[in-house]
Amino acid sequence: PRPALPSSVHAPLPVLGREVLVPLVTGGEVGYAALDYAASAPALQRVWDDVAAYAPYYGSVHRGAGYLSQLSTDLFEQSRATVAEFLGCRPGDQVVFTRSTTDSLNLLAAAVPAGTSVFVFETEHHASLLPWREADVTYLGAPRTPAEAVATLDRALAARAADGPALVCVTGASNVTGELWPVRELAAAAHAHGARIVLDAAQLAPHHPVDIAELDVDWVAFSGHKLYAPFGSGVLAGRADWLRAAEPYLAGGGASRRVARSADGGVDVDWHTTAARHEAGSPNVIGAYAIASACRALTEAGFDLLVEREQALVARVRAGLAEVPEVRVLSLFGDDAPRVGVVSFVVEGWNSSHFAAALSAEYGIGVRDGLFCAHPLLRTLLGAADQEPGECGAPEAAPGELPDPSAGGAPTLNAIRVSFGAGTPDEH
Ligand code: PMP
């Protein structure tokens, strides 16, 4: 028998001009817990404050001697330095501002030298899995322990026939299971075979210190909107040589140092060799400033404290879920694997999307449902290799009515994800 969901009181409330069905908790207060930090974490108040203080003064970066342009150029370059420090960059590393992790990894994929062999686990987020399709890619099967991941990579690299450049792309913390991957060991295996490694730190950087030199990875990619900054900015940081030798990611102003008509009727372009090479167009200075502000806030709060608080929350969520026999928590590496504040599960007999819709409508808990942009991984975790993705997203309901959480309860290829972070002690 399914647990009965209590019917609480609901009111359609106007939120930003739209009517949203919001549960009212006792006393008539509106309570809503947004537990989808793995998709986008709420920006810290301190980040909003920093951005608001700068907003009256922003101007275009690298665009002349005007006071506001100079100030913005200064803040943009200072933000780059703050990110470099946050990531423990080595001398000579470049920090390129991008739009997101997806953008960063696509940039690197466009910059790999011709003939590069790429190695990627099939369990990756699509942002890490898909950008390499033009290269010679080896997709590695799902490992069931961190040690197996290292052994699998080691074997694949040892068996590599080509002796050109090689690149490994791996995520630091899974956006589905929250599990930590053995980044240091994978980097050592890659380097032992002369390969390079890029770390997808989209889910790792908000939860753990990421030190590029200490992990000994060649590049790191992450997104501002998962690191308590708002949308629109990301980072690719790491070795300069491939980036410097590559064609600019986007062709345009800012990336070019000198442009002239050539004798053959075309144009001759002399591209920058700094990070600006891959930042053509007017840079997103507010996005970069916001990321730098979030990096400072996390550093000042101290990752020791943040990890301790978050691990207490992880333990509480997992203990609660363990009490419900119908719940199956998804895990690749097993129950004891270290993980960040990301927990995915399915509830036997329930359609995950409907369940998530009911959590929102009945309990005011916002979670993610679906396949989390990691379809091959979900197939493995759910033991449904041949199944097509099930229905994702909230079920249809008439305006002002609640969806029926048990409608269409047939098992489908989707799951529920709860994710959170400690943020800074003052704010969370
Ligand atoms: N990698 C991982 C592990 C992620 O969780 C995400 C976002 N869900 C991405 C990459 C892509 O990040 P973005 O959407 O900001 O490009």
In 84-192, beta strands by DSSP E:
94-98, 117-121, 136-140, 166-171
Token look-up 């372009």 returns 269
The per-residue pLDDT for 10 is 56
By the 8 A CB rule, do 424 and 298 touch?
A: yes
Beta carbons within 8 Å of 300's beta carbon, 6+ residues apart: 424
- Strand ranges in 99-233 using DSSP code E only, listed in sequence order: 117-121, 136-140, 166-171, 196-200, 219-223
Closest to 368 in 3D by CA, of 355, 382, 356, 351 = 356
Nearest to 164, CA basis, from 205, 206, 121, 194: 194
Rg (CA), the chain: 23
Q: Do the beta carbons of residue 104 and residue 226 sit within 8 Å?
A: no
Backbone CA torsion sign across 257, 260, 263, 266: positive
46-301 has the same fold as 9-42+302-419 = no
Question: Which residue bears the tokens 């203080």?
Answer: 53
Distance from the alpha carbon of residue 205 to the mean position of ligand 1, in angstroms: 12
- Run of H or E including 359: helix 352-363
DSSP state of 385: T
- Looking at residue 2, its pLDDT comes to 37
Q: What's residue 21's pLDDT?
A: 57
CB–CB of 290/47 below 8 Å? Answer: yes
Ligand 1 lined by 291 (C-beta under 6 Å): no
Rounded distance between C-alpha atoms, residue 313 and residue 307, angstroms: 10
CATH number, span 46-301: 3.40.640.10
User: Which atom of ligand 1 is nearest the CA belonging to 372?
Assistant: 8
Q: How many beta carbons lie within 10 A of that of residue 407, not counting itself?
A: 11
Residue bearing the CA closest to ligand 1, atom 6: 202
Examine the predicted complex and report whether its ipTM is higher than 0.90.
yes
Pocket lining: 424 vs ligand 1, CB cutoff 6 Å:
no
Please state the domain extents for the chain: 9-42+302-419, 46-301
Q: What is the pLDDT of residue 385?
A: 65
Identify which of 97, 101, 377 to mutate to test ligand 1's pocket (most ligand atoms within 8 A of the CB). 101
How many residues can be counted in the chain? 428
Residue 373 annotated among the catalytic residues of the structure: yes
What pLDDT was estimated at residue 350?
86
Check residue 361 and give its pLDDT: 76
Consecutive H or E run containing 48:
helix 45-54
pTM of the model: 0.90
CA atoms of 354 and 390, how far apart (whole Å): 12
Q: Which CATH architecture fits 9-42+302-419?
A: Alpha-Beta Complex (3.90)
Per-residue pLDDT tens, the chain, 428 aa: give them: 333 434 444 555 566 666 665 554 433 444 678 899 999 998 999 999 999 999 988 889 988 888 899 999 999 999 999 999 999 999 999 999 999 999 999 999 999 999 999 999 999 999 999 999 989 999 999 999 999 999 999 999 999 987 899 999 999 999 999 999 999 999 999 999 999 999 999 999 999 999 999 999 999 999 999 999 998 999 999 999 999 999 999 999 999 999 999 999 999 999 999 999 999 999 999 999 999 999 999 999 999 999 999 999 999 999 999 999 999 999 999 988 999 999 999 998 888 988 888 888 777 788 999 999 999 999 999 987 666 655 444 445 554 454 555 555 444 688 999 999 986 544 54
Q: Give 3-state DSSP helix, strand, coil % of the chain, rounded to 5.
A: 35, 20, 45
Question: At which residue do the structure tokens 């108040």 appear?
Answer: 45
Q: Are 333 and 146 in contact (CB under 8 A)?
A: yes
Q: Mapping DSSP to helix (H, G, I), strand (E, B) and coil, where does residue 304 land?
A: helix
The tokens describing 120, both together, are 């990627």
Atom of ligand 1 nearest to the CA of 226: 15
Distance 80 CA to ligand 1 centre (A): 21
Distance 223 CA to ligand 1 centre (A): 7
Distances (CA, A) of 368 to 184, 385, 406: 30, 22, 17
- Of 74, 72, 171, 69, the C-alpha closest to 120 is 171
- Give the pLDDT score at 353: 87
